[in-house]
């Protein structure tokens, strides 16, 4: 199953619950537009390198296309399609007035100079400039892109089409970015963790252990926020491997070690674990916050956490999802768990269009309200649709089924009103 087929598998289940017509299924299971561009750049050493980039626009029934841009060798068309469709469901679930899109450049950005990254970003922006815009399609950061990347996109787009802050979100605060945007995805993971832990009666945060795969933007801020909320973060990792300390990690010390050595690995007073071992640790909560499809039919049986919070996009394959559900593991799906990022992206876009800046407390309070509401709506949907679950032989819908059904229903309604389905 390709990544896009996997997302559509979840969409199809929602389509049954929502009793969608065949016409609606045909429209919503496809993408609106897919652009593939060649990025030929002269790199620092003098070589002319050729890369390929994509921008996939999945659906804009509820508002302008919205979604990040990632730089990664695996970011091919199929992967970007999957990520674009996830954005449509994510924005609908947290009820921000956007559709779904995603961009990708197939490049290994991890060992590339800043100068080359800037050239690639500017060339890519030129190539996709005609289909993006502040009321058409608004990019944002994703894997291996950040506020600096957004600044180059903002500048390059502005040179040709006129300067406007609303063209990208996830900008530096000095260039119209929102306070709290950088932390938002990780912070959101912990807001939904609070809800899920309360639901399952896991006890006080101090008694709850958390392992986090990934220490990039999502993982590191999830770790920091989890500690702020009183949880015990016992393991984190990056591409080189992970570290484990059952008594709890000091995240400031992990950050310092990372800054010094380039990796979290080897930090004093911690045990080394591989990325695979980290997933299988005996913890209460697991937050996969790195790559997709890390929990599959091979290891789903060995996951010991009671709650999985999907910080990454599609970290759990459909087969693994069924195994985890069958074992009673609560999975908070990506379209809810990591929706904090796009939620604050929306706040940024609103602030830009109003020429205003909200203070950090306002941003965080509104983020929290949005995510708690979305979580509660999923729980309520579960309670109201027990019959659908019984028809499939279960006791109640999973949070993912509820989240997708809610999102698909909202998008279908907007598409119907526009006359698309």
- Sheet containing 100-105: order of strands: 33-42, 48-59, 100-105, 65-71, 137-141
Q: Rank residues 63 and 341 by Cβ distance to ligand GLU and give the closer one.
A: 341
Least spacing, CB of residue 355 vs ligand GLU, in Å: 20
Cα Rg, the chain, nearest whole Å: 21
Q: Rank residues 91 and 325 by Cβ distance to ligand GLU and give the closer one.
A: 91
Q: Sort 298 into a burial class: Cβ within 10 Å, 0-12 / 13-18 / 19+.
A: exposed
Q: Which stretch binds ligand GLU (CB under 6 A): 65-73, 225-233, 273-281, 389-397?
A: 65-73
Least spacing, CB of residue 147 vs ligand GLU, in Å: 12
Q: Which two tokens stand for residue 159?
A: 């040179």
**Binding-site member from 53, 180, 315, 341 for ligand GLU (CB under 6 A):** 341
Cβ-contact 59, 86 below 8 angstroms: no
Q: Rank residues 189 and 249 by Cβ distance to ligand GLU and give the closer one.
A: 189
Q: Is 333 in the site for ligand GLU (CB under 6 A)?
A: no
Tell me the C-alpha to C-alpha distance, in Å, between residue 65 and each of 53, 128, 175: 17, 13, 22
Q: Is 398 in the site for ligand GLU (CB under 6 A)?
A: no
Residues listed for the chain: 421
Q: Is 216 in the site for ligand GLU (CB under 6 A)?
A: no
Q: Is residue 370 annotated as part of the catalytic site, yes or no?
A: no
Q: Is 342 in the site for ligand GLU (CB under 6 A)?
A: yes
Tell me the C-alpha to C-alpha distance, in Å, between residue 303 and each of 250, 318, 321: 24, 15, 11
**Binding-site member from 18, 79, 142, 194 for ligand GLU (CB under 6 A):** 142
Which candidate in 66, 90, 102, 171 is catalytic? 102
Determine phi and psi for 10, rounding to 5 degrees. -65, -40
Cα–Cα distance, 167 to 165 (Å, whole number): 6
Q: Which two tokens stand for residue 318?
A: 């459909």
Q: Which stretch binds ligand GLU (CB under 6 A): 125-133, 243-251, 276-284, 336-344?
A: 336-344
Q: Is 53 in the site for ligand GLU (CB under 6 A)?
A: no
Least spacing, CB of residue 140 vs ligand GLU, in Å: 3
Residues that bind ligand GLU (CB under 6 A): 66-68, 90, 140, 142, 169-170, 313, 338, 341-342, 345
Which residues belong to the active site?
Answer: 102
């Amino acid at each position: 199953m390709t990544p896009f087929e996997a997302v559509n598998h979840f969409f199809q289940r929602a389509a049954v619950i929502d009793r969608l017509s065949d016409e609606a299924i045909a429209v919503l299971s496809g993408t609106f537009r897919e652009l593939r561009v060649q990025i030929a750049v002269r790199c620092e050493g003098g070589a002319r390198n050729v890369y390929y980039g994509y921008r996939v626009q999945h659906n804009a029934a509820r508002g302008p296309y919205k979604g990040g841009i990632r730089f990664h060798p695996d970011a091919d068309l199929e992967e970007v399609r999957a990520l674009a469709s996830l954005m449509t469901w994510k924005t609908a679930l947290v009820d921000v007035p956007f559709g779904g899109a995603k961009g990708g450049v197939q490049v290994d950005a991890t060992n590339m100079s800043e100068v080359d990254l800037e050239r690639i970003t500017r060339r890519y922006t030129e190539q996709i400039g005609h289909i993006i815009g502040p009321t058409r399609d608004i990019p944002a950061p994703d894997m291996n892109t950040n506020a600096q990347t957004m600044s180059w996109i903002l500048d390059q787009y502005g040179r040709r089409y006129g300067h406007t802050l609303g063209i990208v979100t996830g900008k530096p605060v000095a260039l119209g970015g929102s306070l709290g945007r950088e932390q938002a995805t990780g912070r959101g993971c912990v807001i939904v963790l609070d809800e899920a832990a309360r639901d399952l009666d896991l006890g006080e945060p101090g008694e709850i252990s958390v392992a986090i795969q990934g220490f990039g933007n999502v993982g590191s801020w999830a770790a920091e926020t989890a500690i702020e909320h009183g949880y015990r973060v016992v393991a984190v990792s990056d591409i080189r491997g992970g570290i484990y300390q059952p008594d709890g990690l000091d995240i400031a010390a992990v950050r310092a070690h990372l800054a010094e050595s380039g990796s979290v690995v080897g930090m004093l007073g911690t045990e080394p674990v591989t990325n695979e071992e980290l997933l299988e640790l005996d913890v209460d909560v697991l937050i996969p916050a790195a790559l997709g499809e890390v929990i599959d039919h091979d290891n789903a049986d060995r996951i010991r956490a009671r709650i999985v919070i999907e910080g990454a996009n599609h970290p759990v394959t459909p087969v693994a999802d069924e195994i985890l559900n069958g074992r009673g593991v609560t999975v908070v799906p990506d379209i809810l768990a990591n929706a904090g990022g796009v939620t604050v992206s929306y706040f940024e876009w609103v602030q830009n269009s109003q020429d205003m800046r909200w203070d950090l407390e306002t941003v965080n309070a509104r983020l929290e309200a949005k995510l708690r509401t979305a979580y509660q709506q999923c729980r309520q949907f579960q309670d109201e649709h027990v019959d659908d679950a019984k028809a499939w032989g279960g006791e109640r819908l999973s949070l993912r089924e509820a989240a997708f059904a809610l999102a698909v229903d909202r998008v279908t309604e907007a598409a119907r009103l526009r006359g698309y389905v």
